[in-house]
A and B are shown apart, each in its own frame.
Chain A
Amino acid sequence: MAQNSQTMYLAIVLAPLFGALLAGFGGKLIGRIGAHMVTIIGVAIAFGLSALTFKGIVFDGAPIYDATVYTWGVIEGVHLEVGFRIDELSSLMMTVVTFISLMVHIYTIGYMHDDPGYQRFFSYISLFTFAMLTLVMSNNFLQLFFGWEAVGVMSYLLIGFWYQRESAIYANLKAFLVNRVGDFGFLLGIAAVLMYFGSLHYATVFETAPLLRDLTIQVFPGVNWSLMSVICILLFIGAMGKSAQMPLHVWLPDSMEGPTPISALIHAATMVTAGIFMVARMSPLFELSETALSVVMVIGAITALAMGLVGIVQNDIKRVIAYSTLSQLGYMTVALGASAYAGAIFHLATHAFFKALLFLGAGSVIIAMHHDQDIRNMGGLRKYMPITWLTALIGSIALIGFPGFSGFFSKDLIIEAVHHSGLPGSGFAYFSVLAGVFITALYSFRMYFLVFHGKERMSASVRSSLRETRAVVTAPLIMLAIPSVIIGWLGIESVLTGELFGPSIAVLPGHDVLGAIAADFHGAGSFVLHGITGAPFVLAMAGVAVAWYLYLARPELPERIKQSFGLLYNVLDQKYGFDRFNGFFFAGGARGIGTVLWRGGDAAVIDGLLVNGSARTVAWLASVVRHLQSGFLFHYALAMILGLLLMITWFVTL
């Protein structure tokens, strides 16, 4: 049995890898159709087996699998291994990742149809799927880190997929550099784990953790810090980079330079949620540090509120969704901070569906608009693109948390969880997530109205060619719309009661906010009814109403508001100045230091003096000594005699 499941898990990971290798190196041998066939089959195998695994673990009560598959090396007792830990948490993630990936693969056939890098693209996204699966399925920190970096590399490659574009290269470099900052913290966190636990294996670390709960360490002399807080905050810095939490969020909006399927798969549904997943995975550690939890919650709350606000002033369709993603990631982070890990993962899953749906819908619009992404040039697309319109509407409703749709269940759960939390900062977090509901509804429906309703603002030539996109594009939209509606109904109860995640997530009794909510829970239906009477619903409806009033009823109003609140608008339009500050302070500073070191250290000392200097000296010496070889016999004889005399004077002594 164990052998069978090991083979199965290996197949899940390796099928996309083989697909990627075949598509990447197959070239002309397999052609374009071959490339998308092999990768889709690979990912489909992975999805099928993941779904089976999920069913086995969650419904059939199969035992949790935690074993090493391959030992790479042992260094002083530290095992460097490849291994899988398949439990409720990872099997859910596997299923979500492979499902979205499969949809995106299919969608890509249509979206990238005319792109010369077709095969490369399929190879990349399949390789990404492989990397994401190794991350999710890992049973140790080393493999986690490998997957973490591998998805980072794939993200880098895919953001810069159109590498001839200056802006794409800028964006992927930015993503890479900002993630370096987060990864630095992450790596330090892993190092701290290894240092104090002596193991990289999850199970060992989680078992030992309670024993080290009260240990304090001195990073700086004289200052005592709780070990658990240090480890957790360092790990969370990694999550901040990957899951784009303030102030390490700046790379995500720019990552929209990548092709739209990538934005859906990597920068909305899967990779950016790796940080959320990681913190949930480390729940046995985070539970031991209220400081860390507070930090997590406050950072998440700031991100949720501030990024949503920026979303209101964006005009690029993908950027609006990108800021929405940032805001939703903030919601998940808040849930983590409130110890509602299950709620965070639940929102992660629902968000993965409806956000991928929104992105792919946006992609469909972009195809129809001939790659014009400015929503000010759209309008009235509803009648040209009915399927895209309907699925986008479903996605938007799910996003704003309209009762009954998937987003409602997960988001309301988070709001309630924060409400129940007693940690420092939970008051602010509660305000943020409530205000966030209004803002989410505002920017979502601003975009929805501007794109699908109102005046048709596109040029005549574009309008004449507007039509619904191909089936390979719309089919994934429909496939994603279905879970966006129903997944909340199915999941809410088991999430609340803790059935869904079982022992894979640890929550201390004092932090069990979901348990407190569960006490009042009387089924999904009453949860929905309760929701309709709650404040979040009112706020969401208010947001939709304001959006309708401003962008459909009185379209001239936003311009006037913009003028009368110029300062506020500028702050939002400049995204709080993060980019400018980073560009000036970090990039400029680093370049400044780099220039000094380069000019002074590298160019002058190393290149000039050491490398070229020595080369020049040797060449000069060669040309000089060469002239000693004059060709005259008497010079040669003289040199010999001088050599003889030199040696006599030097050596003839007693």
Chain B
Amino acid sequence: MSLMLNDFLPAAPEIFLLSMACLILIVDVYVPERYRLVTYQLSQATLVVTAILVMFLYPTESVLTFSDSFVLDRMGSVLKVFVLLMTYFAFFYSKEYLRARNLFKGEFYLLGLFAVLGMMVLISGHSLLTLYLGLELLSLALYALVALHRDSTAATEAAMKYFILAALASGILLYGISLLYGATATLDISELHSAIGSEGEGRNIVLMLGLVFVVVGIAFKLGAVPFHMWVPDLYQGAPTPVTLFIGTAPKLAGFAMLMRFLVDGMGGLRGDWGDMLVLLAILSLAVGNVVAIAQTNLKRMLGYSTIAHMGYMFLGLIAGTAAGYAASMFYIIVYALMAMGSFGMIILLSRAGFESDRLDDFRGLNERSPWYAFLMLILMLSMAGLPPFLGFWAKWSVLRELVAVDMVWLAVVSVVFSLIGLFYYIRIVRLMYFEKPTDHSAVAAPGDMRVMISTNALAILALGLYPGALMAVCISAFAI
């Protein structure tokens, strides 16, 4: 087996990212403390160039390389671009926060870049091993990121819990992969698909066990009930920029993992994993939406809201059609945008010694700063799924696909839960607009941060008014 230059080309963005990460690692060691900004700037530049490379390589059809263990396709490219975009925003939002708390170190950005590399590998994985490799690279980087603030007991506790549970989940996933290998004698996604058969002809008990283990492993990564326990603790305990990062880009990678394992690899067992996802979706919708009501910490509340949103994302996959997958992808991208804005808002309102992550901290925000209260209003109403915001279209598209395959009952169940969910989003709005502020200090944030967060939130309004473009991108990703 000889590798030609052409075989490396599809992985060019990943290779570039890896090289740059190594370069920045060395640069960071030699840069004096006061020039730490260089690391940040190099990281951002790397992300931008990588994104350009991904777009440049946008394929017309799927390309396999590295002995068919790596795939370059449209879905992957779209997801990668959004992963890079989200990471860019996450780095941007975190800059001031980390500076103010003396955490502005090269490690944050380096670990972030390696996590991005892991996500990209995961997204492009075409072999069970490549997928696992990408997942582990991502996870290892995230463990360290959570523990970045090592003097904070909450952060270290969250990191510890995350590490142990994720190790357990990785073990489960790996066990599932070994069962799949045992049943089909292959690690290649396409061969796995043909071994199972498009209608599940090769279905046997070992395969089913493998499927359950794999689904559990993925469910853990996405934080679906009952494998969600780490989510609230991690969201609350980790420093807000880390929460922001974990809450956005890796969700897109998790969606890719679902697609690679279940749709590309085990499409023949759609009926089986569809039922599992129904169970996970209903439990996630119920627990996420209901328990979020009892929260007083905004980060923790958003953690539960994430769980609920994963439930909605499953709905499109449950529909099991190309349009359904597109709707799910649309949903996950929209969700990441909204989560980014929400956590970004917490970062914006915080300052050294004040995290601004309790619900009470948003009391009377309208009196302190009407503009940010308005942006937060957009974000919360969009999360709740009210028109005309983008979140409405996300919910609407997955529900539409669900109804198109005659699963009206599930659509009704999810609508009921989103009605319950409306409560805790609206509660923030009420706090902001109808309560007196307890804290009267003016919002202090640098100008570039203000511009970015406004862009972020207004994009949700603007895209909500013209949802066609983003939707078209998602549909084209599955239109081969």
CB distance from B124 to the nearest CB of A (A): 28
Chain A residues positioned under 8 Å from B3 (CB to CB) = none
Known: A619-B293, A622-B290. A635 touches B229 (CB 8 A): yes
Question: Quick check: is B164 within 8 A (CB to CB) of the other chain?
Answer: yes
Question: Quick check: is B49 within 8 A (CB to CB) of the other chain?
Answer: no
Known: A639-B226, A640-B220, A647-B276. A652 touches B205 (CB 8 A): yes
Chain A residues positioned under 8 Å from B172 (CB to CB) = 640, 644
Question: Quick check: is A643 within 8 A (CB to CB) of the other chain?
Answer: yes
Q: State whether B279 touches A650 (Cβ < 8 A).
A: yes
Known: A636-B165, A644-B212. A618 touches B293 (CB 8 A): yes
Question: Quick check: is A623 within 8 A (CB to CB) of the other chain?
Answer: yes
Q: State whether A652 touches B212 (Cβ < 8 A).
A: yes
Binds B, one of A473-481, A505-513, A532-540, A625-633: A625-633
Q: In chain A, what residue has the closest Cβ to B300?
A: A629
CB distance from A611 to the nearest CB of B (A): 12
Question: Quick check: is A637 within 8 A (CB to CB) of the other chain?
Answer: yes
Q: State whether B165 touches A651 (Cβ < 8 A).
A: no
CB distance from A34 to the nearest CB of B (A): 35
The one of A644, A647, A654 that contacts B203, using a Cβ cutoff of 8 Å: A654
The one of B227, B232, B291 that contacts A640, using a Cβ cutoff of 8 Å: B227
**C-alpha gap A623/B296 in the complex (Å):** 12
The one of A621, A629, A631, A635 that contacts B290, using a Cβ cutoff of 8 Å: A621
Q: B344-374 vs A: 1/0 string, CB under 8 Å?
A: 0000000000000000000000000000000
Q: State whether B212 touches A625 (Cβ < 8 A).
A: no
Chain A residues positioned under 8 Å from B164 (CB to CB) = 633, 637
Chain A residues positioned under 8 Å from B230 (CB to CB) = 636
Q: State whether A654 touches B205 (Cβ < 8 A).
A: yes
Question: Quick check: is B128 within 8 A (CB to CB) of the other chain?
Answer: no
Q: State whether A637 touches B290 (Cβ < 8 A).
A: no
Q: How many residues of A contact B (CB 8 A)?
A: 26
Q: B293-304 vs A: 1/0 string, CB under 8 Å?
A: 110000000000
Q: A271-306 vs B: 1/0 string, CB under 8 Å?
A: 000000000000000000000000000000000000
**C-alpha gap A526/B471 in the complex (Å):** 90
Known: A633-B161, A643-B216, A644-B212. A651 touches B168 (CB 8 A): no
Q: State whether B209 touches A648 (Cβ < 8 A).
A: yes
Known: A651-B212, A651-B272, A652-B212. A626 touches B291 (CB 8 A): yes
**C-alpha gap A619/B275 in the complex (Å):** 29
The one of A631, A646, A647 that contacts B215, using a Cβ cutoff of 8 Å: A647
Chain A residues positioned under 8 Å from B477 (CB to CB) = none
CB distance from B165 to the nearest CB of A (A): 6
Q: In chain B, what residue has the closest Cβ to A617?
A: B290
Chain A residues positioned under 8 Å from B216 (CB to CB) = 640, 643-644, 647
CB distance from B474 to the nearest CB of A (A): 29
CB distance from B216 to the nearest CB of A (A): 5
Question: Quick check: is A642 within 8 A (CB to CB) of the other chain?
Answer: yes
Q: State whether B294 touches A631 (Cβ < 8 A).
A: no
Chain B residues positioned under 8 Å from A654 (CB to CB) = 203-205, 208
Question: Quick check: is B401 within 8 A (CB to CB) of the other chain?
Answer: no
Question: Quick check: is B169 within 8 A (CB to CB) of the other chain?
Answer: yes
Question: Quick check: is A71 within 8 A (CB to CB) of the other chain?
Answer: no
Chain B residues positioned under 8 Å from A218 (CB to CB) = none
Question: Quick check: is B64 within 8 A (CB to CB) of the other chain?
Answer: no
Question: Quick check: is B213 within 8 A (CB to CB) of the other chain?
Answer: yes
Question: Quick check: is B233 within 8 A (CB to CB) of the other chain?
Answer: yes
Q: State whether A622 touches B294 (Cβ < 8 A).
A: yes
**For residues 194 through 246 of chain B, which have their beta carbon under 8 Å from a beta carbon of chain A?**
203-205, 208-209, 211-213, 215-216, 220, 226-227, 229-230, 232-233
Question: Quick check: is A564 within 8 A (CB to CB) of the other chain?
Answer: no
**C-alpha gap A648/B211 in the complex (Å):** 10
**C-alpha gap A651/B276 in the complex (Å):** 7
Q: In chain B, what residue has the closest Cβ to A641?
A: B168
Chain A residues positioned under 8 Å from B276 (CB to CB) = 647, 651
Chain A residues positioned under 8 Å from B275 (CB to CB) = 651
CB distance from A149 to the nearest CB of B (A): 33
CB distance from B146 to the nearest CB of A (A): 14
Which of B164, B226, B229 gathers the greatest number of chain A CB atoms within 10 Å?
Answer: B229
Question: Quick check: is B379 within 8 A (CB to CB) of the other chain?
Answer: no
Chain A residues positioned under 8 Å from B205 (CB to CB) = 652, 654
CB distance from B458 to the nearest CB of A (A): 33
Known: A618-B420, A652-B205. A637 touches B291 (CB 8 A): no
**For residues 244 through 296 of chain A, which have their beta carbon under 8 Å from a beta carbon of chain B?**
none
Q: State whether B212 touches A640 (Cβ < 8 A).
A: no
Question: Quick check: is B287 within 8 A (CB to CB) of the other chain?
Answer: yes
Chain B residues positioned under 8 Å from A650 (CB to CB) = 279
Q: State whether A631 touches B233 (Cβ < 8 A).
A: yes
The one of B165, B204, B212, B293 that contacts A622, using a Cβ cutoff of 8 Å: B293
**C-alpha gap A647/B213 in the complex (Å):** 9
Which of A623, A633, A640, A652 gathers the greatest number of chain B CB atoms within 10 Å?
Answer: A640
**C-alpha gap A625/B164 in the complex (Å):** 23
Q: State whether A640 touches B226 (Cβ < 8 A).
A: yes
Chain B residues positioned under 8 Å from A651 (CB to CB) = 208, 211-212, 272, 275-276
Chain A residues positioned under 8 Å from B213 (CB to CB) = 644
Chain A residues positioned under 8 Å from B208 (CB to CB) = 651-654
Chain B residues positioned under 8 Å from A652 (CB to CB) = 205, 208-209, 212
Q: In chain A, what residue has the closest Cβ to B209?
A: A652
Q: State whether B291 touches A647 (Cβ < 8 A).
A: no
Pick 18 A–B contacts, CB within 8 A, sort by A. Answer: A618-B293, A618-B420, A621-B290, A622-B290, A622-B292, A625-B291, A631-B233, A633-B164, A636-B229, A636-B230, A640-B220, A644-B212, A644-B216, A647-B215, A647-B216, A647-B279, A652-B212, A654-B204
11 extra interface residue pairs, beta carbon distance < 8 Å, beyond A639-B226, A639-B227, A646-B226: A623-B294, A625-B287, A629-B291, A636-B165, A637-B164, A637-B165, A644-B172, A644-B213, A648-B212, A651-B208, A652-B208
